[in-house]
Structure 1
């Protein structure tokens, strides 16, 4: 990684999270890193944008009282030197499957960068949970070691290798460290979707059932998907595009043609 490489680093867990500090320290060894990150936790906010946000200067960088998308726009257009690469993460918790692409603040930061024609990497750490609520699960800086290692590797090599001639951004999901470095698998987002809802009086509780079964022996996600790779201990790297491609078909043309005569 060249010392001249400019990286804009953001996240959705907030500027005080362990994951962004770990990634900042790793990337800063060989690149110029400017941090523009939310002042607090903005997980699962998607690409929400604000009209105006307050900005504080912190020890790590700029704390924006807004969303990850706000951070990318503010960072690219005003606060930092124009970067060669935007990195989002490292997120506590995996971002897997097609249905999270518009929901995750981490991924949304990478998508926002793509609209600026700046390559991006979104990195998330898969944290298996048992009986402890996910919000109460602590992740140490050492447990981000695999995530920071592979993100640094991709930041160092992907630009020169021409990866971003074909992908707008990379969605990277990493298992917890387990001795030897995990292998990388190039994946596609899983199509699995299992949201449901339950009403109790004046409240409706939403349930994401996708995470109920993460056993490699019974996981329904097929080979080649991000969820299969991560559950089996591999690093998942999904090369993705933004904006999403369209699927033009004659069936819609026929409806359009018939609209005014119907």
Structure 2
């Protein structure tokens, strides 16, 4: 199996090296890394017109976004992966409103448009209220559950037909606990708690979900990705990439009346 490994934290990030080591140990798996040269967190599916690519000890460093990495790998670097793995991201990617912002998830989505199955993997790192997330740097051991889950899914998901229905899997893992984490199939949470405050000419934008998660005060129902991870389980959400449409009679009538004014 040929695996393309990418991320959005950058090619020097601990998380991608953790997954590279974990997947390279699998028999019959050939891993090629094509990842951003610098941190591209939260860029979503941003795409560049042109990017510079340079060799790296574990693959290729792309001076661009995660989406650039997937397109460059398949279109210009002559890679033909059976599977794309994006991660492991430092920080969870939970809830439907986050999916479009995440560079990690966006790499998996881009792979899906190429018709390549993909797995996006992220690590939920609980952060105390008085510590800035930017100061949190998990070591390699913090990714042990993510490594275990990713290895398992890479070994098994293709063979059992998971990707006959799902285009990609969004996987979120807890930090290791006293016992191995269970894996549960989830759906992205609908809970949304963004806020903004104005201070003169500055507007401070805050995602209050993170504070609620660190205190355990979440309203997400059972079966959602956020509840699973907060409770210490590995969350796996099977998702599809194309936007979907539904029939709306009201819109049909609106379109039919266009030009009647």
TM-score (normalizing by structure 1): 0.96
Counting only pairs closer than 5 Å after superposition, residues 34-53 of structure 1 correspond to structure 2 as: 34-53=32-51
Distance 1:194 1:247 in 2: 27
Residue deviations 1:168-203 (CA, integer Å, cap 9, x gap):
000000000113221111000001111121222222
Matched, 1:8 2:7: no
- Count of residues paired in the alignment: 258
| 2:73 counterpart residue number | 75
- Aligned CA distance change for structure 1 residues 223 and 132 (closer, same or farther; 3 Å): same
| Unaligned stretches of 5+ residues in structure 1 | none
Distance 2:55 2:197 in 1: 43
| Structure 1 segments (4+ residues) deviating >2 Å | 215-218
Residues 18-27 or 217-226, more deviating: 217-226
Distance 1:223 1:13 in 2: 30
| 2:254 counterpart residue number | 255
Counting only pairs closer than 5 Å after superposition, residues 83-94 of structure 1 correspond to structure 2 as: 83-94=81-92
Aligned-residue CA RMSD (Å):
1.1
| 2:156 counterpart residue number | 157
- Of 11, 26, 29, the residue aligned with 2:25 is 29
TM-score (normalizing by structure 2): 0.96
Counting only pairs closer than 5 Å after superposition, residues 231-246 of structure 1 correspond to structure 2 as: 231-246=230-245
* Secondary structure of 2:17's aligned partner: helix
Whether the 8 Å CA contact 1:34–1:80 is kept in 2: the answer is no
Distance 1:86 1:232 in 2: 28
| 2:137 counterpart residue number | 138
Counting only pairs closer than 5 Å after superposition, residues 54-203 of structure 1 correspond to structure 2 as: 54-130=52-128, 131-203=130-202
Distance 1:216 1:47 in 2: 31
* Secondary structure of 1:79's aligned partner: coil
Whether the 8 Å CA contact 2:120–2:170 is kept in 1: the answer is yes
Distance 2:216 2:10 in 1: 35
Whether the 8 Å CA contact 1:20–1:89 is kept in 2: the answer is yes
